Amino acid sequence: MTGFESVVLDVDGTLVRGGDPVPGAIGALDRLRETGADVLLFSNNPTREPASYREWLADLGFEVRPGEVLTSGVVTAEYLADEHPDDPVYVVGEQGLCDLLAARDRALTDDPEAAAVVVGSIDREFTYDRLRDGLWALDGATFVATDPDRTIPVDGRPLPGSGAIVAALAGAADRDPEAVLGKPSERAATAALDRVRADAGSCLVVGDRLDTDLAMGERAGMTTALVLSGVATREDAAAADPAPDYVLESIADLPAALADR
């Protein structure tokens, strides 16, 4: 047994690196399920619908059930529904995020002058003109970020993430976002715990980032496990305060570590 009622798993850098499963990740996820623990896959990638994520992971060989995927895009949509239900939203981000927000009846606008909320996110077609329009949209609008991830772990060199785009907008406008959603925010932790229907003390969070995955878990009172298959290094783990409860080479080592718990 794991000793945990639920396990929240990061995706990029934890289960998958680039376009391939981390070696041993599929078997590790299967063994976690055999313990009876509820599983939630929580990604700070805001560009995919959970159903699309499920299909992608299934194609890679992972068993993922309905309701087991949460993304920063979904957390952002829920935040906007609660805090800005009727406000026009201008997105500096990708079409996938726009589609996700539109599917949840968020009022999107392409006009910077009409924006009441600006959402900054990863944008792999980011240009000077998009930065300019985002700056103009931020004049009087609320500033929201889907997630703080500055880079994305892939095989080889890392790629810029949402945090890089948000930093460009923040620098141009000389202001920080009023809300940064996704991990490690309190809203992200609440969304995760609501879905696994567990209290924080019986939940394990596993990820490759100290500043997002593990910070969310630590702040919420979850047990934390850092895997070294993504962004963080063993030196980072040694310098962390508080230290992770577990430090593992990869998620493949998690079932054995929990068996000794």
3-state secondary structure (DSSP) of residue 210: helix
Distance CA(209)–CA(82), nearest Å, equals 28
Nearest to 216 by CA among 180, 179, 183, 182: 183
Residue 239 tokens read as 């310098």
Fill in the DSSP letter of residue 243: P
Catalytic pick from 10, 123, 133, 149?
A: 10
3-state secondary structure (DSSP) of residue 73: helix
3-state secondary structure (DSSP) of residue 21: strand
The yes-or-no answer on residue 133 being catalytic is no
The yes-or-no answer on residue 10 being catalytic is yes
What is the number of other CB atoms lying within 10 angstroms of the CB of residue 57?
22
Distance CA(123)–CA(21), nearest Å, equals 24
Catalytic pick from 12, 38, 133, 253?
A: 12
Catalytic residues: 10, 12
